[in-house]
Structure 1
């Protein structure tokens, strides 16, 4: 096997191959011949799936400087070396189905990366430096032990497909709502209790799958006209007696459904004026977006104004500390026949008692 492998690599070097297939070779170590002398400077695609590799060499970028695609699916790799950040032309990296426990921060230096596959590993967190991958289109992190996703993901402005099924996520960053190119979001079989208020506000987001999040009882009403998967959601929660579907006869509170923890106050229809703190934030937000020059306010406040808690589902008013929620049980919508094994409802988040009275899900 070693003689045959060395012969394959020798021919690849001599003939300046751009593709090299080393799948199913029972490799326990990275082949030394690949790194000998000048390496393979012309190689662009390296396939090494279904082997038994446990580590990658630190000088990988030095010997294979022009790699565009690196496929390492189904090995036993525990960590990615810091030197990975030197593969400046790399566009696709597949390290799925390995034994990864950590992704090094240097991953953020792969500025050409478009596809990153890390599914079926042992990851408990992702480095915030992933947010530096401006060209990233696909991120797959399913079948790990992630309890959160980095807020900095919103900087991945090219991201189109995010798959994070079968993890331990209790929430996702509301910054993800800023991803204008995101078209598919899959978060099935996690521990989600709520979703960001603005999720689905972007027209590009067409597919949202949150199946088997048993504590998830509410979907933002922006998802009403999307392709959604929510079977098995809310099945562990107690069914609310009576009809909670948007009636304003009694105050809507967190006893009916879970709200994001950032919401400080939940008001009823008897509250005609929002708190001064909320009115001030809304006014500042409006001024900041109308002016072309910066306003002299603290940066921390500027950052908060940049990312409101959500926007009113009726009038699009920005909201920061307060929402008026209105429920539309799934059984009362056209999707009831599609998602029968669920107790989830659509929730409209409004900015005032007037908006909550006049909001209609089908309007």
Structure 2
């Protein structure tokens, strides 16, 4: 594995690649080959999802100065170095599903940043310097420990989509109502007790998700002509009317897999046998350290099993063959007819947990 990694980085340097894919490589440390000599001055996109990184190097910006996209989803990174602020060309930063507890104020120096994803960390607050990101279009801070959002976010005048599902938020700063380009606001599964009375006054804001806020008793009048509903990011889906099935072979009764037992409706999907087999082999390899079963597989299948296409965002189960374009369901208000829109999204359906979530693609 180390020699393969070395060869991949060597080729990227020799051929001056702009994109480098280092997903699913079991990396515990940032590869030193990326930081040797002058580094990769020409690299623009670095993908390092689903590894075991715990830290980023302080000289990252010095060695990779032209990065415009950095994907670090699903690692164990505990903090972002202050030097991150020197990546002046960075437009997309994904640090979802890590161990972040604090975001350094220097993140406000990323003046070109357009997409920032910090979902599924341990953040208790966000720095007010986020308000300095005037080009920011997407901010996802869902699944953290946030109780408030910084009022300075109203200075992010390009912000279009703000997602803060599954936190501990008890209010939405009224200043956010003045964001001129905000079209989607998602605050599902929080502790909201009320909403600003002028939320929805902006004509740009069309989608508002505030489901699973048990203490929220009403909506501002401006929302009655908007599209409101369930974002799918709240409470876990419930399986109802489950049929318990088994297959009888003579005197022997063979219980069916749990994935099949969970089928309750005609619309439920059954995973292909290939998908189920890949998941079993992948789990076996993780437990046995690439044991004998995986060792006997042909290389083409072994590569598939080792590196899934992605993972379900809700149950984190690896996904190998399933990618469906679907219509994302929205529950509309009676007066929303004049604003009818449908959002098309790539989603993954994981039958074993009844998950319907945005798919985490490997690149």
Could you tell me the TM-score, scaled by structure 2's length? 0.64
Residue 46 of structure 2 corresponds to residue 9 of structure 1 = no
CA positional deviation for 1:334: 3.5
Distance 2:14 2:220 in 1: 59
Match of 1:97 in 2: 97
Distance 1:109 1:211 in 2: 34
Match of 2:86 in 1: 86
Task: Give the secondary structure class of the aligned counterpart of 2:108.
Answer: helix
Task: Give the secondary structure class of the aligned counterpart of 2:225.
Answer: coil
Alignment of 1:1-363 (within 5 A): 1-229=1-229, 334=334
Unaligned runs of 5+ in 1: 232-332, 336-363
Task: Give the secondary structure class of the aligned counterpart of 2:93.
Answer: strand
Cα shift readout 1:81-108 (whole Å, capped 9, x = no counterpart): 0000000000000000111111000000
Distance 2:141 2:229 in 1: 19
Distance 2:34 2:8 in 1: 10
CA positional deviation for 1:230: 6.7
Task: Give the secondary structure class of the aligned counterpart of 2:46.
Answer: strand
Task: Give the secondary structure class of the aligned counterpart of 2:40.
Answer: coil
Deviant stretches of 4+, over 4 Å: none
Greater C-alpha Rg: 1
Distance 2:193 2:77 in 1: 33
Distance 1:11 1:53 in 2: 23
Task: Give the secondary structure class of the aligned counterpart of 1:219.
Answer: coil
CA positional deviation for 1:158: 0.2
Distance 2:74 2:212 in 1: 27
Unaligned runs of 5+ in 2: 232-332, 336-363
Cα shift readout 1:252-292 (whole Å, capped 9, x = no counterpart): xxxxxxxxxxxxxxxxxxxxxxxxxxxxxxxxxxxxxxxxx
CA positional deviation for 1:191: 0.2
Distance 1:220 1:174 in 2: 12
CA positional deviation for 1:197: 1.2
- What is the aligned residue count? 236
Cα shift readout 1:163-218 (whole Å, capped 9, x = no counterpart): 00000000011000110100000000000001111100000000000001011112
